[in-house]
C-alpha cells in the first residue's frame, strides 16, 4: 500500500512539474505584455522596451518572439531586483551569447549570460529567467566589489581574482580587454539611443 501511494504521489508530482513550463511561459509573456501596455502611458519605459527590442533583433534577427518576450521580461525583472541598468544587462548578454539561450563556450560557460557550471547547479542553465537573473546577480556582485563598471565587466569575463591581481595596470588578457570594450560600446549606444 505504501509503495502504491508513493508511486501515485511521484507520478502526480512529475505531471505537475512537467506542466510547469507550460504555465510559466505564458506568465512571463503576460509580464512582458502588461509592462509593455503600461509603458505606453510612460514614454520613457516604452522607449526603453522598444530600444531593447531593436537591439536584440539586431543581434539575433531570427530569435523566436516568445524567447524575445521572455528575455526582455527577465532583463527588466533582474534589473529591478539587482539594481543594474537593463541596457547594461542586454549589452552583457549580446557580448556573451548573442542572445542564444543554448550557447556553450569552449570553456563550458552556458546560456544567455554564459554562466560557468558552478554558478548554475541549482537550475537549468537554458532557463531564460534563471540564467539572466543569476548572471545579473553575479554582475552586481562584481560591481559592488570593484566599484567600477569596466572592472566589474572584466571580472565577470576573466574572474575576480585575475582582475584583482592586475587592478592597477589593467594588464588583462586580450580577450577580456576586447570583451569590456564590446560591452561598453553596446551599452553606450543603448544609452545614446535613449537620448535621441
Please state the domain extents for the chain: 26-195
CATH code for 26-195? 1.10.530.10
HSE at residue 71, side-chain half, CA atoms within 13 A, is 30
Q: Cα 27–33–38 angle (5° rounding)?
A: 125
CA dihedral (188, 62, 115, 177) positive or negative = negative
Point out the catalytic residue in the list 66, 96, 137, 195: 96
pLDDT score for 194: 62
Mind listing the pLDDT tens digit for each residue in 35-57? Answer: 555 544 567 888 899 999 999 99
Give yes or no for residue 125 having a pLDDT over 50. yes
Average pLDDT, the chain: 81
Question: Is this prediction's pTM over 0.85?
Answer: no
Residue among 28, 122, 107 nearest 75 (CA): 28
As a whole number of angstroms, the distance between CA 64 and CA 83 comes to 28
Q: Is 176 left (phi over 0), alpha (psi -120 to 50) or beta?
A: alpha
Q: Is 77 one of the catalytic residues? A: no
Amino acid at each position: 500500500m505504501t509503495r502504491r501511494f508513493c508511486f501515485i504521489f511521484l507520478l502526480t508530482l512529475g505531471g505537475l512539474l512537467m506542466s510547469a513550463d507550460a504555465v510559466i511561459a505564458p506568465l512571463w509573456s503576460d509580464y512582458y505584455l502588461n509592462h509593455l501596455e503600461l509603458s505606453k502611458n510612460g514614454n520613457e519605459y516604452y522607449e526603453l522596451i522598444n530600444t531593447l527590442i531593436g537591439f536584440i533583433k539586431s543581434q539575433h534577427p531570427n530569435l523566436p518572439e516568445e524567447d524575445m518576450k521572455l528575455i526582455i521580461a527577465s532583463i527588466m525583472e533582474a534589473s529591478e531586483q539587482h539594481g543594474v541598468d537593463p541596457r547594461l544587462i542586454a549589452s552583457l548578454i549580446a557580448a556573451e551569447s548573442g542572445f542564444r539561450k543554448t550557447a556553450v563556450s569552449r570553456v563550458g560557460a552556458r546560456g544567455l549570460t554564459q554562466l560557468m557550471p558552478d554558478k548554475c547547479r541549482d537550475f537549468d542553465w537554458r532557463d531564460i529567467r534563471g540564467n539572466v537573473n543569476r548572471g545579473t546577480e553575479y554582475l552586481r556582485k562584481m560591481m559592488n566589489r570593484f566599484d567600477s563598471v569596466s572592472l566589474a565587466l572584466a571580472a565577470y569575463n576573466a574572474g575576480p581574482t585575475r582582475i584583482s591581481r592586475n587592478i592597477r595596470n589593467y594588464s588583462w588578457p586580450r580577450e577580456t580587454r576586447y570583451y569590456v570594450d564590446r560591452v561598453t560600446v553596446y551599452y553606450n549606444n543603448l544609452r545614446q539611443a535613449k537620448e535621441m
